[in-house]
Amino acid sequence: MFKVKAITDFEFTEAQLEELRNARSIEYKNPELDNQPKRQSVLTTFCEPMKLVSKVLQEAKFDVVDLTKSIINKIIVDSKLHFTVFEHHVYKQTQPNQEPVKFMFKEHKDNKNGLEVHTLLYYPKCTFPKGGRLFYSLEPEGPLTSVFDPRDCKCFCMSGDVRHIMEPCEGIGEREVFVFQVPVKKQFI
């Protein structure tokens, strides 16, 4: 399917962002990377702003389920699904000339273990002077030549089959991103 869309007319309110930041979650580390962000966490319960994520994806013509409390609980409880609906990452550097901030994941797709999802990325903050862009491809193989820059637009949606990777960030700055992976409707019909 290979679909992407920058959403220019959507923003979470500051209150909604705080609710997402404070949602009950567990923090985790990726043992493959030395340079870990300050905070990375996955949601372990439902919170109200998640309803908006489904709506934004649906309005952008992504065929996803409505994120309700019962759907979130099913995803969290059902061990067969093995994926995260919500991740929160904060990467920060306060000293000049530090090593570039590398991100949690190598090139990947968000569809996993037979589960098809569509992803909404929301960037409240990206103040690094260099890096932090999302490189992606709408082709099954080959180089990642398309670019999304979170400094130009806070919200980006993509189908789960889009290969992507984040560019390392350099300099003094902070990058915060919320990642929502919402199952396609056919997974719950």
pLDDT tens-digit map of 106-132: 888 988 878 889 999 999 999 999 999
Give the residue with greater pLDDT, 165 vs 79: 165
- Sign for the pseudo-dihedral over CA of 111, 71, 124, 41: negative
| Local structure of 144: helix, strand or coil | coil
Please say whether the beta carbons of 122 and 154 come within 8 A.
yes
Q: What is the pLDDT of residues 29-57, one digit of tens each?
A: 555 444 544 445 566 667 888 889 999 99
Rounded to two decimals, what is the model's pTM? 0.87
Which stretches of 3-159 are assigned E, i.e. beta strand? Answer: 4-7, 25-27, 39-43, 86-93, 117-126, 134-137, 146-148, 155-159
Give the residue with greater pLDDT, 27 vs 181: 181
**3-state SS string for 102-138:** CCCCCCECCCECCECEEEEEEEEEECCCECCCEEEEC
The domain segmentation of the chain, as residue ranges, is: 4-188
**pLDDT in the model for residue 79:** 47
Close Cβ partners of 131 (under 8 Å, ≥ 6 residues apart): 100, 101, 167, 168, 169, 170, 171
Across 77-81, average pLDDT: 55
Distances (CA, A) of 81 to 21, 108, 183: 24, 18, 10
Determine the topology of domain 4-188 in CATH: Jelly Rolls (2.60.120)
CA dist., res. 3 & res. 110, Å (int): 13
